[in-house]
Chain A
Amino acid sequence: MTNESTDQTETAPEDDLSSTIWPQVDRALAGITARGEAGRIDLIVHVPRDEVIDALRRLKTDETLSFDYLRSLTAVDNEDEGMDVVYHLYSTTTRHNVTVKATLPNEDLSLDTATPVWKGANWLERETAEMFGIRFHGHPDPRNLLMPEDMTDVFPLRKSHPLAEIEILQGEGMGYPEEGA
Chain B
Amino acid sequence: MVTEPAYEFETQDILLNVGPQHPSTHGVFRMVLSVDGEVVRDLVPHIGYLHRGAEKLCETMDYRQGIGFMDRTEYLAAFNAELSYVMAVEALTDIEVPERAQWIRMILCELNRLSSHFMFMGAFGIDVGVFATPFIYAWIGREALIDLFEEVSGDRMMFAYFRPGGLAWDVPRNFKQRVNEALVVAEQGIKDFDTMLTENEIFVARTTGVGKISAAEAIDWGMSGPSIRASGVPLDVRRDEPYLMYDQVEWDVIVGENGDVYDRYYCRLLEMRESVKIIRQCLEKMPDTGPIMPEKMPRMLRTAPGEVYVRTEAPRGEYGVYLVSKGGNRPHRLKVRSACLANLQALRDMSVGQYVADAIVVLGSIDIVLSEVDR
**Do chains A and B make direct contact within the complex (CB under 8 angstroms)?**
yes
Distance, CA A4 to CA B304, complexed state (A): 11
Residue A39, interface by CB 8 Å: yes
Q: A71-B222, A72-B337, A120-B220 are known contacts. Are A42 and B309 too (CB-CB below 8 A)?
A: yes
Q: Which residues of B contact A120 (CB under 8 A)?
A: 220-223, 342, 345
Q: Are B60 and A163 in contact (CB under 8 A)?
A: yes
Q: Are B322 and A146 in contact (CB under 8 A)?
A: no
Q: Which residues of A contact B60 (CB under 8 A)?
A: 163
Minimum Cβ distance to chain B for residue A115 (Å): 10
Minimum Cβ distance to chain B for residue A154 (Å): 12
Q: Which residues of B contact A95 (CB under 8 A)?
A: 240-241
Q: A40-B308, A99-B309 are known contacts. Are A74 and B322 too (CB-CB below 8 A)?
A: yes
Q: Are A147 and B51 in contact (CB under 8 A)?
A: yes
Q: Are A40 and B337 in contact (CB under 8 A)?
A: no
Distance, CA A4 to CA B305, complexed state (A): 9
Residue B307, interface by CB 8 Å: yes
Residue A156, interface by CB 8 Å: yes
Residue A174, interface by CB 8 Å: no
Minimum Cβ distance to chain B for residue A98 (Å): 10
Query: Digit string of B214-241 for contact with A (CB within 8 Å is 1, else 0)?
Result: 0001011111000000000101000011
Q: Are B345 and A119 in contact (CB under 8 A)?
A: yes
Q: A71-B320, A145-B47 are known contacts. Are A1 and B345 too (CB-CB below 8 A)?
A: no
Of residues 141 to 155 in A, which have CB atoms within 8 Å of B's CB atoms? 144-148
Of residues 1 to 60 in B, which have CB atoms within 8 Å of A's CB atoms? 47-48, 51, 53, 55-57, 60
Residue B374, interface by CB 8 Å: yes
Q: Which residues of B contact A71 (CB under 8 A)?
A: 222, 309, 311, 318, 320, 337
Of residues 302 to 339 in B, which have CB atoms within 8 Å of A's CB atoms? 305-311, 318, 320, 322, 324, 326-327, 332-333, 335, 337
Q: Which residues of A contact B332 (CB under 8 A)?
A: 76
Of residues 126 to 143 in A, which have CB atoms within 8 Å of B's CB atoms? 127
Q: Which residues of A contact B311 (CB under 8 A)?
A: 71
> Which secondary structure dominates chain B's binding surface?
mixed
Q: Which residues of A contact B128 (CB under 8 A)?
A: none
Minimum Cβ distance to chain B for residue A44 (Å): 8
Query: Digit string of A71-100 for contact with B (CB within 8 Å is 1, else 0)?
Result: 110101100000000101000100101010
Q: Are B51 and A92 in contact (CB under 8 A)?
A: no
Of residues 20 to 34 in A, which have CB atoms within 8 Å of B's CB atoms? none
Residue B92, interface by CB 8 Å: yes
Q: Are B57 and A163 in contact (CB under 8 A)?
A: yes
Q: Which residues of A contact B233 (CB under 8 A)?
A: 92
Residue B91, interface by CB 8 Å: yes
Distance, CA A44 to CA B91, complexed state (A): 16
Residue B341, interface by CB 8 Å: yes
Q: A119-B345, A146-B51, A156-B56 are known contacts. Are A88 and B320 too (CB-CB below 8 A)?
A: yes
Nearest residue, chain A, Cβ from B375: A146
Q: Which of B53, B307, B318, B345 has the most CB of A within 10 A?
A: B307
Residue A53, interface by CB 8 Å: no
Q: Which residues of A contact B318 (CB under 8 A)?
A: 71
Q: Which residues of B contact A68 (CB under 8 A)?
A: 219-220
Q: Are A118 and B308 in contact (CB under 8 A)?
A: no
Q: Which residues of B contact A110 (CB under 8 A)?
A: none
Q: Are B345 and A146 in contact (CB under 8 A)?
A: no
Residue A41, interface by CB 8 Å: yes
Residue A17, interface by CB 8 Å: no
Minimum Cβ distance to chain B for residue A79 (Å): 10
Minimum Cβ distance to chain B for residue A88 (Å): 5
Residue A47, interface by CB 8 Å: no
Q: Are B307 and A40 in contact (CB under 8 A)?
A: yes
Q: Which residues of A contact B337 (CB under 8 A)?
A: 71-72, 88
Q: Which residues of B contact A97 (CB under 8 A)?
A: 241, 309
Q: Which residues of A contact B308 (CB under 8 A)?
A: 39-41
Minimum Cβ distance to chain A for residue B227 (Å): 13
Of residues 127 to 178 in B, which have CB atoms within 8 Å of A's CB atoms? none
Q: Are B91 and A41 in contact (CB under 8 A)?
A: yes
Nearest residue, chain A, Cβ from B233: A92
Minimum Cβ distance to chain A for residue B37 (Å): 25
Given contacts A41-B310, A69-B219, 6 further A-B contacts (CB under 8 A): A40-B92, A68-B219, A72-B335, A88-B337, A120-B222, A157-B333
4 shortest interchain CB distances as A-B pairs? A120-B222, A146-B48, A2-B305, A72-B337
| A-B contacts, 5 listed (Cβ < 8 Å) | A1-B307, A39-B308, A40-B306, A68-B220, A72-B309
